[in-house]
Structure 1
Amino acid sequence: MSDLASSHPPSSTAASRATTRTRFWMLAIVCVAVLINYLDRAILGIAAPSVRAEFHINAATMGIVFSAFSWTYFAAQVPVGALLDRFGNRVIYFLALAFWSLFTLAQAAAGGVASFVGLRLGLGIAEAPCFPANSNIVAMWFPRKERARAIGAYTAAEYVGLGFLTPVLFWLLGHYGWPSLFIVTGVIGMLFALVWIAKYRDPHESQAVSADEIALIEAGGGLTGKHVSGRKFSFADLTELFRHRQIIGLLIGQFSVYSTFVFFLTWFPTYLASARHMAWIQVGFFASLPYIAGFFGILFAGWLSDKLLHMNVPLGVARKLPVIMGLLGASTIIACNYVQSDAVVVAILSFAFFCQAMSSSGWSVLSEISPVGKLGLVGGLFSAAANLSGIVVPIVIGYIVQATGSFVGALAFVGGVAFVGAISWIFVIGELKPITMRHHG
């Protein structure tokens, strides 16, 4: 803590700022970035009918356009995790924001399938640093007992755009056409990139944080020092991480967590329209309800996890219980196969998505098990596992529906994957403790 002490000497000024909580301002900046991130990746789904009509794109080809984002997003996770460990959060996040907003803006001028695919591939690469960096930032800025709620706050921002801002996007689409969606969100993102580089600092760089707040974060296990970044990537590190059951269990679990989310992002509206025969106006209304439920689910999970820690419940139980509850709850999506009422189906789906959002709180575990200087790399692996499901799940569901003519098997698949994730969290991960590396990059 010597570098921190010199940067933030105790003083009457610092003492007077003890109640000014800089960490929450940094979290607010992250939340806005996540909201923009998810809007930029999701708006193609809203624009798709108009885009398909204008460029005469069939459903199969549109599926390729949709999948392009996940391919590069998945492939870039480990490299960007290594970049975060090497160069830190502020600069990498700024570049990510600027470039993903530029790729979003450029989609307004796309002239067909090839240009859309190329720009979606670029968007996937540019957005890849977001969640590994978010995990780093929370580990740096928040004591252990506040981390789950902090992660819950920025994860909830995903659902704000999807659940609450969808009507605004449909209004833009109706009045100004599909390019307006990409122009508005792209420009907003580019402007916010300037806000980010001006306002965000890691704890050891910040002039706003007081010595007392730094002491509070460090006493709670916050990783505030310069040693958190600056480490070079080594393939030996990557190989060794896969030797630990904690990593394997987390990756299986995160694939399962995101599988339910991918179903809702891709096939959910089609399920309501084709399997439940709802009118498209109903689909638009009902499709927003699970996202709103998810918004409250992730906030509840963060509150529950930190509350358990405050009650002196062991760390492993406090961090793992909300995720396990969420995965088991998400598996109830299978029950939709056995009810007739549309209202009951939407209620089941909303409950399943509430639980899926609870299970997203697994990010809080990374800072507990990551080797020193490798949090970005571990976060990259964790995010890669999630986004592997973004490649696999839509294809598997499409094959099941095509082969059977029904969503019964598809829902069973999604629920079954969630259950496997719960088993992994219960039996594979084991004790939450820092991994000791024999190789250091």
Structure 2
Amino acid sequence: MSVSPYQQNRLAWLVVLLLFIGSVLNYVNRAVLGVLMPQIRRELVLTNTDYGLAVNAFLTLYMVFYVVGGRLADRLGCRRSFTLTIIFWSVANLLHAFARGLRSLCFFRALLGMGEGGYYPAAIRGAAEWFPVENRAKAVALLLCGLSVGALLTPPMVAWIAIHHGWRASFLATGALGFLLVPPWLMLHRRVKQIYGTADPAPAFRQEEKGALPEENLSLLEVLKRRKYWCLLMARALSDAAWSFFLFWMPGYFQEVRGFDLRMVGRWLWIPYFSADVGALGGAWVSSMLIQRGLGLNRSRKSVLIPSAALAALGGLVYFLPGPFLALAMASVALFGHLSWASNIHTVISEITPPKHLAVLYGITGAAGTLLGAASQPLIGRSVDLAGYAPAFIGVGVAYALALVLLLGAGKIERIRRIPPPSTPHPALRSAL
């Protein structure tokens, strides 16, 4: 059946819209425990150390299943991987309502990490499958906006449910939301099947694969040997670790150092995360516009990535600025830069890797970022206890500076290809040698 470009584009954006909602729910489910931890700690008689064990249970399995989920997405495709992961993490989140102590809480957190870790490789594969290169960063940016939208929604929503119905009801309600997303996802792909004859047509993805030369179908091991991939992996991992600082430590910093109370936190601290959303969409739009104008993939992406990393590095100055609102403004600039950077660096990973390994390689980069972010948390806590927040903010600035160096060290942004063997000399030349 012939499909018009308008119809294909409409279906692609519907797919990404549902993936965006999945990203929002993914973060909401992840963040419920942090919002409710004081109440849970009192009822289950847990210490702060116990809470740390529960967080580590989540992060460890999240990291592992970022890679496993990538392999699953490569084998099953976005449609089935999305369905499996969202059902799995929704059930895991529901089970938190039945926690009776540390062991059960850690077990349920580990299950949640398994489900959530497998989601983003499937989502990124979906963006790569449905969008050509000039629009792919916009799709990835929308997925990343789901994180900060989830960060905006979780505290008021979860607090309201807990106040009126108890903390266990918060897990039941937020877990149930995931099941509401599965029917429209399956209905959309039923419509896709009616149009294309298959539920996994992957229009843009298939076009790229058809145009690929046989020698470009590299093995996974061959890609893992390339400096380009490892430079971009470490660049993303460093920026992910810095982002985790802004997510988990910035609210406490503004309360402990800048004098914000909870009312001020609710009134003002949404601004940096809103700025991050604007950065994600703006960075994606600019790089896509440059590609459409013929600037080329490498120059278009780097024209956004380089200034974005520079803006994000300004986050290191937040601690040293006078007045809480000037610090808040600088944090907003830094988070704008970070998600502008992230919307493009995530896309670049999909653009340099062979299509058949896209999800698993994206999963490895995500696992590296999660590992570095998790490892940095106790170091941040120790440095805050001993020397305040200054070293942590300086570390944020250094992380983005190193990420920028690694980006430049990766060389040209282009698909990783097999290095051709040296050409065989002409027989006359061989005899002369």
Structure 2 counterpart of 1:63, from 48, 52, 69: 52
Tell me, in whole angstroms, the C-alpha distance in 2 between the residues paired with 1:267 and 1:237.
40
| SS in structure 1 of the partner of residue 416 of structure 2 | coil
For 2:423, the equivalent position in structure 1 comes to: none
**C-alpha deviation, 1:353, in angstroms:** 1.1
Q: Shift of the alpha carbon at 1:436? A: 3.0
CA deviations over 1:393-439 (Å, ceiling 9, x no partner)? 212201211232x111111112211211111112x21112222359x
Three-state SS of the structure 1 residue aligned to 2:205 is coil
CA contact (8 A) 2:82 2:123 kept: no
> CA shift at 1:385, angstroms?
1.9
The residue type equivalent to 1:224 in the other structure is R
Alignment pair present for 1:298 and 2:308: no
Q: Give the aligned partner of residue 395 of structure 1.
A: 378
Stretch moving more, 189-198 or 355-364: 189-198
The one-character-per-residue Cα deviations of 1:275-309 (angstroms, maximum 9, x if unpaired) are: 22322222233332221111111011111110111
Question: Residues 429 and 177 of structure 1: is their aligned pair in 2 closer, same or farther, counting only changes over 3 Å?
Answer: same
- Hey, what's the Cα distance between the residues in 1 that align with 2:123 and 2:268? 30
Alpha-carbon contact 2:275-2:333 (below 8 Å) kept: yes
5+ residue gaps in structure 1? 1-7, 229-235
Which AA in structure 1 matches 2:256?
S
Q: Which residue in 2 is equivalent to 1:78?
A: 67
What is the CA–CA distance in structure 2 between the aligned matches of 1:127 and 1:349, rounded to whole Å?
27
CA distance in 1, matches of 2:25, 2:226: 35
Q: Deviations over 1:113-163 (max 9, x none)?
A: 221111111111111221111221111111111111111112112221212
2:361 corresponding residue in structure 1: 378
The answer on whether the counterparts of 1:237 and 1:437 sit within 8 Å (CA) in structure 2 is: no
Structure 1 residues 62 and 165: alpha-carbon distance in aligned structure 2, compared to 1, 3 A threshold: closer
Instruction: Give the match's secondary structure for 1:47.
Output: helix
Give the ranges of 4+ consecutive aligned residues of structure 1 lying more than 4 Å apart after TM superposition. Answer: 14-20, 225-228
- 1:207, CA displacement in angstroms? 2.7
Please list, as runs of the form range in 1=range in 2, the aligned pairs for 1:331-346 lying within 5 A after superposition: 331-346=313-328
Mapped partners of 2:4, 2:78: distance in 1: 28
Q: 1:15 to 1:331 in 2, by over 3 A?
A: closer
Aligned twin of 1:154:
143
Matched pairs, number: 409
Residue matched to 1:232: none
Q: Is the contact between residue 54 and residue 105 of structure 2 (CA under 8 Å) also seen in structure 1?
A: yes
| Alignment partner of 1:94 out of 83, 89, 92 | 83
Larger deviation, residues 114-123 vs 264-273: 264-273
Give the stretch that moved more between structures: 160-169 or 246-255.
Answer: 160-169
Contact 1:17-1:210 at 8 Å conserved across structures: no
Q: How does 1:344-383 map to 2 (within 5 A)?
A: 344-361=326-343, 362-383=345-366
Superposition pairs of residues 293-332 of structure 1, within 5 angstroms: 293-332=275-314
Q: CA deviation at 1:78?
A: 2.0
Q: Which amino acid aligns with 1:399?
A: R
CA distance 1:257–1:206, shift in 2 (3 Å):
farther
Aligned-residue RMSD, C-alpha: 2.5
Identity of aligned residues (%): 26
What amino acid does structure 2 have at the position aligned with 1:23? Answer: A
Question: Bigger shift: 298-307 or 357-366?
Answer: 357-366
Give the drift of 1:164.
4.3
CA distance in 2, matches of 1:401, 1:19: 51
Q: Which segments of 5 or more consecutive residues in structure 2 lack a partner in the other structure?
A: 211-217, 420-433
Secondary structure of 2:100's partner?
coil
1:208 alignment counterpart:
195
State the 1:56 CA deviation.
2.7
Choose which of 412, 415, 420 in structure 2 pairs with 1:434: 415
How far apart in 2 are the matches of 1:377 and 1:413?
Answer: 29
One-letter code aligned to 2:410: I
The alignment partner of 1:313 has SS state of coil
For residue 250 of structure 2, the aligned residue among 238, 244, 268 is 268
Q: CA deviation at 1:37?
A: 0.8
Q: How does 1:130-209 map to 2 (within 5 A)?
A: 130-164=119-153, 166-200=155-189, 206-208=193-195
Q: How does 1:402-421 map to 2 (within 5 A)?
A: 402-404=385-387, 406-421=388-403
Counterparts of 1:425 and 1:100, CA distance in 2: 34
Distance 2:176 2:364 in 1: 30
Q: 1:223 aligns with which of 205, 208, 231?
A: 205
Q: 1:208 to 1:170 in 2, by over 3 A?
A: farther
- Once the two structures are TM-superposed, the CA of residue 91 in structure 1 deviates from its matched residue by 1.4
CA distance in 2, matches of 1:357, 1:17: 29
Give a deviation string over 1:17-42, Cα, whole Å, max 9, x none: 74872111111111111111111111
Deviation per CA, 1:227-249, whole angstroms, max 9, x where unpaired?
A: 79xxxxxxx94443231111111
Q: 2:262 matched to which residue of 1?
A: 280
Q: Tell me the distance in 1 between the aligned counterparts of 2:277 and 2:386.
A: 34
1:104 is matched with: 93
After superposition, the C-alpha distances for 1:60-108 in whole angstroms (9 at most, x for unaligned) are 3212222321111111222221222122222122110001000011111
Tell me the alpha carbon deviations over residues 337-393 of structure 1, each in whole angstroms, 9 at most, x when there is no partner: 222201111111111111111111112112321123111111111211221233112
Native 8 Å contact 1:163 1:289 kept in 2: no
Q: Deviations over 1:169-190 (max 9, x none)?
A: 2222222222222111101112
Q: Is the 8 A contact 1:69 1:123 kept in 2?
A: yes
- Whether contact under 8 Å (1:93, 1:133) holds in the other structure is yes
Q: How does 1:7-26 map to 2 (within 5 A)?
A: 8=1, 10=2, 14=3, 18=7, 21-26=10-15
Q: Which amino acid aligns with 1:208?
A: I
1:323 is displaced (CA, Å) by: 2.7
Amino acid in the other structure paired with 1:189: G
Tell me the distance in 1 between the aligned counterparts of 2:315 and 2:66: 29
Cα distance in structure 1, aligned partners of 2:209 and 2:316: 46
Alpha-carbon spacing, 1:400–1:20, altered in 2? closer, same or farther (3 Å) = closer
Alignment match, 1:5: none
- Contact 1:22-1:209 at 8 Å conserved across structures: no
Query: 2:69, 2:119 within 8 Å by CA — same for their partners in 1?
Result: no
Bigger Cα Rg = 2
